[in-house]
Chain A
Amino acid sequence: DAGVIQSPRHEVTEMGQEVTLRCKPISGHNSLFWYRQTMMRGLELLIYFNNNVPIDDSGMPEDRFSAKMPNASFSTLKIQPSEPRDSAVYFCASSFGSPQAGNTIYFGEGSWLTVV
């Protein structure tokens, strides 16, 4: 069974450009999470969806970041305009049900973003 699929795996872009990261969750999962990982701040939750509806976007850094989930099998995280401080690994993860109920969250391989 396919896991969480993210694209692109690596992206290098110039400051000011738009970046779009894509995620396909595990089939049948109803929760989707976007995390960002940096050396300084560790693994931070940006936003999560339940049944395609954003539940908590308090971790989204600023208006330059936006996330959508148009259907149960696809989500995007967009950064416009990008800045060097956005350089990080962005992970998408999915689960069936809540981790509070003991359901496991499965992570994708991550998208490595470098903004120069």
Chain B
Amino acid sequence: SQELEQSPQSLIVQEGKNLTINCTSSKTLYGLYWYKQKYGEGLIFLMMLQKGGEEKSHEKITAKLDEKKQQSSLHITASQPSHAGIYLCGAPRGANAGGTSYGKLTFGQGTILTVHP
């Protein structure tokens, strides 16, 4: 099973509507990254949260990490067609080698957002 579960899997909204995407972890998060991907392109970094209760905003997108650090939400206000794409959450997972902590990101399965003009 996925370590990170995203919901919904897909979302279709009318331009101007607000929407929320959720990302839930089965383990305590050491941080949570949000990326956006357009078809045929790479992942674009949106924002990163590390502290419980933290909230960050960029333009019309707001991301929050809950106090328990097991769930994050991404909220888009007054959606536009330019917001369409796949949104992925990613969480650091570490490995220790010789006492040094390295890290990798594991991702949820993604949420496909369609915004109709």
Contact = CB atoms under 8 A, between A and B. Distances in A.
A50 B41 contact: no
Interface stretch (B20-28, B58-66, B70-78, B87-95): B87-95
Given A31-B102, A55-B95, A105 B108 contact: no
A48 B31 CA distance: 19
Given A98-B92, A99-B33, A101-B103, A43 B42 contact: no
B48 A104 contact: yes
Taking residues whose C-beta sits less than 8 angstroms from the other chain, chain B's interface range is 20 to 34
Interface of A: 4, 31, 33, 42-43, 45, 48, 50, 55-56, 91, 93, 98-102, 104-110, 112
Contact of B106 (A45, A108, A110, A112): A45
B100 to A, nearest CB: 8
DSSP majority for the B interface? strand
B9 to A, nearest CB: 11
B57 interface: no
Nearest to B97: A55
Given A56-B104, A108-B42, A109-B41, A98 B50 contact: no
A42 B4 CA distance: 12
Interface of B: 2, 30-31, 33, 35, 40-45, 48, 50, 88, 90, 92, 94-95, 97, 101-110
A109 to B, nearest CB: 5
A107 B101 contact: no
A8 B108 CA distance: 26
Interface centre among A91, A100, A105, A108 (most CB of B within 10 A): A100
B44 to A, nearest CB: 8
Contacts of B109: 42
A48 B48 contact: no
Contacts of B94: 98, 100
Nearest to A3: B42
